[in-house]
Each structure stands twice: as C-alpha cells, then as structure tokens.
C-alpha cells in the first residue's frame, strides 16, 4: 500500500514547530494528522480522484489565505483542499480551516478539529495564525455555502468581508480557489433546518438517495493567481466590499469555466 | 527591600518567601493558616482583620505580594471563599495605599478567562472574563482580579502588577492541576481533550520574583512552555486516563478512585484556557527553566504510581 506510507511521509515533512511529543504550540498533533491523512489520502486519490491545477500558486512558506467556494453539504471540499496541500505541495503545508462554531460543541469532532489545526472561525484565531505565517483556509460563504442545493452548485452566495479585513490588516496574499464536484459527491436536494437546530447543527443536508454518504464523483480543485490587496483593514465597508467582489468574481469565473469544462466532457464522450 | 506576603503559608508562598529571603530581602508573611517554624517573620492573622493592618503599620513594607486568595478546593463554604477573595483583596490594597507601599503584586490565575466552546485559543490581557455564570467558583476570583486592576487608576502612586498565572506543577504537588493528577485514574470527558498550560513550581516562583524585581505596571498573563492536551499530561504523568461520556461525569466523580470536581469544572475538561504571555516576557525578560516534559517528569518522579 502506497497510501499509509505517503500520508506518513507528508506529515513528517511538515514544517511546523512540533515538540518531542509531536505537538505544536497550538496543540496540533503529528499522530492525529497522520491518522487523518491516512483516511483522507485514499479518498483523495481513488474515491474522488481529485484533480488539482495551480497548486504551485500556493506560497511554499509564509502567511497565505486560501479563499474558495463552499458546497456539498458536509464540507468534503475543505477536506480535499487540506489533503491537496498535504499531498501535492512541496514541502507539504497544513491548511488550517476556520471551522463553524457548532463543531466545537460536539465530542470527538471538537477533539479532532483541535488536534488537526481546524479551529473555530474566530478573528482572533485567524489573525494569530496569519501572524505566525501559517496557511489559512477560508470559505467566506460559511455554512450557507455548504447548504447550497445541487442545482445551485456552480453559484456563490454572498461572501462575508471579515477575511478581507484580516488579509489587509496582516498583509496576507489571497490564493482564490474553486472546487468543482463536491455537490455531485453530495447532491443535496433539501436541508432540514428545524431538525438540525434541535441537534445543534445549522441544518441537516438531505440527499435524493437517502443515505448521507458521499458518491464517488470526480472533484477538481483549481487554485488561481495570488491576489494581494494593500490597506490597513480599517477601510470603509464600501472599499472592502469592492475588494471582496474582486475575489468573488475571480472564483465565480473559475467556477464557470470549470462548469463548462465538466458539461463538455460527457458530450465529447458521446461523439466518439 | 521589605516584602510583605499575605498568603505566605501556602505551598507557593513558602517557596517564594524562601527565594526572596535568599536574594537578600526582608520577608514578612501573614496567613490565616499556620506555618510552624517559619524561617521568616510570620504572623498567623486573617488579612481582613485588624491584626493584619497592624502588621502593615508596624512593618511598613515597600512591596506587597498578595497571595491570600483561595480556590474552591481548599475552602468548602462558598460564602467564605468569596469574602476571602474579594474583601481580602480590597483590604490588602487599602492597607497598601494607607501605608505608602511602593509596589503591589496581585497573584491571580489564568482561569480568569473561562473555558467555553467559543473562547479563543490564546487569551490576551485585554479580554473580559467569560463563562462566569457556568463556573461560580471562579467568579469571585475574577472579581478579585478586576478589583485589583482598579488600583492601576485609583492609586496612581502605587505601582500595581496583576499577574494571571497558568497552573503550577512539579515535585511539591500543590495546586489545582497537581490535585487533579494525584490519583491513579484521571477522568477525562470523552471526545474532548483541551490544552493545558502549566509552569514548573520553580518557574512559577521565579516569575513572581521577577515581577517584584522589574515592577511592571499593568495586567500580565504568565506562562512558560507550550500547552499540552490534557490526555498527554495524564499519560506523561504515568496516570491512567479514564474517558467518561459527559452525561456520566457528574455521577461518577468521587467514585472509582476518581477525584471530585468543582461545579462547572467540566467545562475546563472540555475546552482550553491558554494564555498569550508575550507581554510579561517583554516587560520582564522572563524565561522558563523547565520545559513541559521536564515539569511532568518532576511531578511523576515525586508522585510515582505503579501502573
């Protein structure tokens, strides 16, 4: 088996300040990362057969913010982006997501999120990680993004502006990315909001085939050219939202191009 | 210098008194608890009583290190604890002003910030205390801490240092974390594993001594080595972690050789309280001597358990 070996090597080559127990100052644990990647790597390589373009656009060191579209009910996209940075980047980097608040309230999820560096999406966390020159993973659509239905899969819902203020304040380059296929892997037809609230979740995604299992759809991740905005982070809303729109448009364009490409594939297949 | 330590008879107080005396200071201790054969001038009086005021009046200390605060593990009656922490702190600062003390150090705790699902991983000094409603045992400590901070503007002639120290651990085995780790089995909440931040007892004492030497004005978090997940702390202390689902924790504590927890302490077994201690390092040049693993080794060698 190549995968367990691959996962182990990737984690061993991570440039994070681990102590003798394999823990970094944030409580990120080598052992937990290894286990997580051992599970993710086969999904990445074989189940979703992830194809990545533009990975070299992520800086190998120093602070950076990955900003992209969210879809697919259960954040498969986040897991695949993290896997791509660990498996395809040289040296590997740990993308640290800004997780939804509800996750930290659940046993096991709370522990694994903490040990793998996926912290609650608080501005304090984001700023500290960027100042520490880490790689931040941001989905400005938040849970409204993963709640997107299958038919809306190539659209974006309104971006929050918090990420842009942080990027300006910390002078962080933004690497926009588009994920295609997460909605095909988890084609949500409806969301049970009330039931979700009862269980402390923002919603429960419902798929046509009943079982909440991801299908082996092909996932593509495209990283775009780095965007650097200059400012202090204290600009007026109108200025910041202009910058946010620029990022949004970049991602929307990548999504549209990808959607055409994906729609094109079966047609060319039919002709031959 | 003449240094008066209210709360000197506690484990850290004794160490600190000895350390300051060694470095040539004139150390006087007061405490409601006894300290037989104390190597310093010691008065067994309650800090809130007239007799304590008399000690201030007679000694005229230049520096006061206020350590006469308690947590729930020591005093069981809640009303009394609240009185000791809040009115004791008030009394110490009133005397300090009345008798022209130059520098007053309040020795507080990092649990001030509270543990909760939405609290950030590294707390800075400007943050307010949170989650007090869920952990009343800590509320009066937070009140004492904030009250001590008011001396910064109320008594500008007095240099006030408010320290929020992380847990202490080491061969003496005193303090909240040490008490929690003392038994063979240590309860953890299933599915949660918060980071714990601790200092070796010697470093804990050094930090307070350094605050006395450098007299930084303001509020400072104090911590040393990096934090560790609680399960790693338990395992490195050669104890057995017992993972208990949250709904069983309150029923099982105090039984099966598990320690009894304070009400509200469960949040501290689920979520971390980790402080950013950069400001204290910048103001005093503090650096810990013992890293996290050495500290745990010192604890487990002093309190060995056969597995």
Task: List, in sequence order, the alpha helices (H) in chain B.
Answer: 11-22, 50-59, 78-82, 88-98, 136-154, 176-181, 201-214, 230-236, 246-252, 266-270, 278-284, 292-302
B71: which residues sit within 8 A by CB, 6+ positions away?
A: B81, B109, B137, B138, B141, B176, B262
- Ranking A11-20, A71-80, B74-83, B223-232 by mean pLDDT, the lowest is B74-83
The range of the structural domain enclosing residue B41 comes to 2-170+198-224+274-287
Residue A270 in contact with partner chain B when CB distance is under 8 A? no
Question: Which one, of B41, B83, B47, lies nearest residue B66 by Cα?
Answer: B47
Task: List, in sequence order, the alpha helices (H) in chain A.
Answer: 3-12, 30-42, 76-87, 109-115, 123-131, 143-146, 162-170, 182-185, 193-198, 237-271
pLDDT at A4: 73
- Across the interface, of B117, B227, B291, the residue whose CB is closest to A105 is B117
A243: which residues sit within 8 A by CB, 6+ positions away?
A: A164, A168, A229, A231
Bin B290: left if φ > 0, else alpha if -120 < ψ < 50, else beta. Answer: beta
Count of the separate structural domains present in chain B: 1
CATH number at residue B80: 3.40.50.720
**How many CB atoms lie under 10 A from the CB of residue B121?**
24
pLDDT grade, residue A270 (50/70/90)?
very low
* Contact residues, A window 128-187, toward B, CB-based 8 Å cutoff: 128
pLDDT at A143: 84
- Ranking A3-7, A45-49, B107-111, B280-284 by mean pLDDT, the lowest is A3-7
Distance to chain A for B235, nearest Cα, Å: 11
DSSP annotation string for A164-181: HHHHHHHT--EEEEEEES
* Res A2 pLDDT > 60: no
Residue B238 within a domain: no
- What does pTM read for this prediction? 0.91
pLDDT at B266: 85
Separation CA A139–CA A98 (nearest Å): 8
- Ranking A72-86, A102-116, A215-229, B71-85 by mean pLDDT, the lowest is B71-85
Separation CA A84–CA A92 (nearest Å): 9
Which residue does chain B place closest to A101, by CA atoms?
A: B118
* Res A8 pLDDT > 60: yes
| Exposed/middle/buried for residue B174 (C-beta within 10 Å: 0-12, 13-18, 19+) | middle
Handedness of CA A229, A234, A238, A240 (dihedral sign): positive
The series of mean pLDDT values per 10 residues for chain B, 307 residues long, is 96 96 97 95 95 96 94 57 85 96 97 91 94 79 95 97 97 90 90 97 98 98 97 96 87 68 81 96 97 97 82
pLDDT at B76: 55
- Across the interface, of B121, B226, B245, the residue whose CB is closest to A125 is B121
Residue B269 within a domain: no
Separation CA B236–CA A153 (nearest Å): 48
DSSP annotation string for B217-234: -EEEEE--SPPEEHHHHH
pLDDT at B301: 96
The mean pLDDT of chain A is 91
Distance to chain B for A124, nearest Cα, Å: 6
C-alpha dihedral (B219, B225, B227, B230), degrees to nearest 10: -120
Mean pLDDT of A6-26: 95
pLDDT at A3: 63
pLDDT at B256: 67
Contacts of A20 in chain B (CB under 8 A): 293
Return the structure tokens found at A37: 């990647």
- Ranking A160-174, A238-252, B21-35, B245-259 by mean pLDDT, the lowest is B245-259
C-alpha dihedral (B122, B123, B129, B130), degrees to nearest 10: -20
**Would you say B100 and B42 are in contact if contact means Cβ atoms under 8 Å apart?**
no
Separation CA A208–CA A187 (nearest Å): 7
**Would you say A227 and A247 are in contact if contact means Cβ atoms under 8 Å apart?**
yes
* Percent of chain A's residues with pLDDT above 70: 96
Inter-chain contact B195–A19, Cβ cutoff 8 Å? Answer: no
Separation CA B271–CA B274 (nearest Å): 10
Which residue does chain B place closest to A22, by CA atoms?
A: B228
**How many CB atoms lie under 10 A from the CB of residue A86?**
24
Residue B279 within a domain: yes
pLDDT at A94: 98
pLDDT at B35: 96
Separation CA B18–CA B290 (nearest Å): 20
What is the CATH class of A3-262? alpha beta
Q: Are strands B26-30 and A188-192 parallel, antiparallel or unpaired?
A: unpaired
Residue B155 within a domain: yes
Residue B296 within a domain: no
Top pLDDT among A26 and B249 is at: A26
Contacts of B122 in chain A (CB under 8 A): 124, 128
Separation CA B93–CA B103 (nearest Å): 10
A190: which residues sit within 8 A by CB, 6+ positions away?
A: A149, A206
Question: Which one, of B40, B36, B44, lies nearest residue B16 by Cα?
Answer: B40
Residue B98 in contact with partner chain A when CB distance is under 8 A? no
Sketch the domain layout of chain A as residue ranges: 3-262
ipTM at complex level: 0.89
pLDDT at A265: 60
Residue B293 within a domain: no
pLDDT at B59: 96
Residue B216 within a domain: yes
Residue B131 in contact with partner chain A when CB distance is under 8 A? no
């Amino acid at each position: 088996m190549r995968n367990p070996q691959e996962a182990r090597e990737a984690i061993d080559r991570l440039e994070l300040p681990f102590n003798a127990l394999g823990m970094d100052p944030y409580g990120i644990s080598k052992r937990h990362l290894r286990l997580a990647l051992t599970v993710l790597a086969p999904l990445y390589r074989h189940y979703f057969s992830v194809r990545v373009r533009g990975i070299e656009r992520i800086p190998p060191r120093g602070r950076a913010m990955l900003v992209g579209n969210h879809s697919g009910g259960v954040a498969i996209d986040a897991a695949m982006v993290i896997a791509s940075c660990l498996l395809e980047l040289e040296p590997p980097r740990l993308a640290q997501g800004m997780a939804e608040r509800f996750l930290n309230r659940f046993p096991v999820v709370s522990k694994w999120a903490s040990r793998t560096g996926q912290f609650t999406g608080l501005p304090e966390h984001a700023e500290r990680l960027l100042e520490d020159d880490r790689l931040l993973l941001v989905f400005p659509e938040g849970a409204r993004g993963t709640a997107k239905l299958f038919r809306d899969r190539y659209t974006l819902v309104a971006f929050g502006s918090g990420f842009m203020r942080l990027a300006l304040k910390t002078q962080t380059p933004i690497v926009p990315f588009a994920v295609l296929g997460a909605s095909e892997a988890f084609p949500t037809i409806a969301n049970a909001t009330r039931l979700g609230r009862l269980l402390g979740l923002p919603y429960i995604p419902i798929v046509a085939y009943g079982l909440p299992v991801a299908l082996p759809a092909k996932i593509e991740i495209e990283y775009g050219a780095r965007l650097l905005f200059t400012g202090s982070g204290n600009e007026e809303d109108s200025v910041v939202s202009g910058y946010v729109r620029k990022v949004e448009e970049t991602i929307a364009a990548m999504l549209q191009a990808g959607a055409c490409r994906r729609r094109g594939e079966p047609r060319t297949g039919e002709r031959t | 210098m003449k240094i008066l330590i209210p709360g000197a008879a506690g484990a850290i107080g004794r160490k600190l008194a000895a350390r300051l005396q060694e470095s040539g200071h004139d150390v006087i201790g007061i405490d409601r608890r006894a300290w037989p054969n104390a190597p310093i001038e010691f008065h067994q009086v309650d800090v809130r009583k007239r007799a304590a005021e008399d000690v201030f009046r007679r000694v005229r200390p230049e520096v006061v290190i206020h350590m006469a605060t308690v947590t729930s593990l020591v005093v069981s009656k809640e009303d009394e604890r609240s009185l000791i922490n809040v009115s004791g702190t008030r009394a110490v600062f009133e005397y300090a002003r009345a008798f022209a003390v130059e520098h007053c150090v309040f020795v507080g705790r990092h649990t001030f910030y509270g543990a909760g699902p939405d609290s950030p991983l590294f707390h800075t000094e400007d943050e307010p205390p949170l989650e007090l409603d869920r952990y009343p045992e800590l509320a009066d400590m937070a009140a004492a801490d904030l009250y001590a901070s008011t001396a910064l503007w109320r008594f500008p002639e007095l240099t006030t240092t408010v320290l929020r120290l992380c847990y202490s651990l080491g061969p003496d085995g005193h303090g909240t974390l040490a008490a929690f780790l003392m038994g063979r089995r240590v309860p953890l909440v299933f599915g949660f594993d918060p980071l714990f931040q601790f200092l070796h007892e010697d470093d804990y004492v050094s930090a307070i001594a350094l605050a006395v030497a450098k007299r930084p004005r303001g509020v400072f978090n104090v911590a040393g080595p990096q934090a560790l997940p609680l399960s790693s702390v338990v395992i490195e202390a050669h104890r057995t972690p017992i993972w208990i689902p949250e709904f069983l924790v309150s029923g099982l504590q105090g039984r099966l050789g598990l320690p009894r927890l304070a009400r509200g302490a469960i949040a501290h077994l689920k979520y971390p309280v980790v402080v950013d201690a950069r400001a204290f390092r910048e103001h005093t040049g503090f650096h810990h001597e013992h890293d996290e693993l050495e500290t745990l080794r010192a604890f487990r060698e002093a309190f060995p358990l056969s597995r």
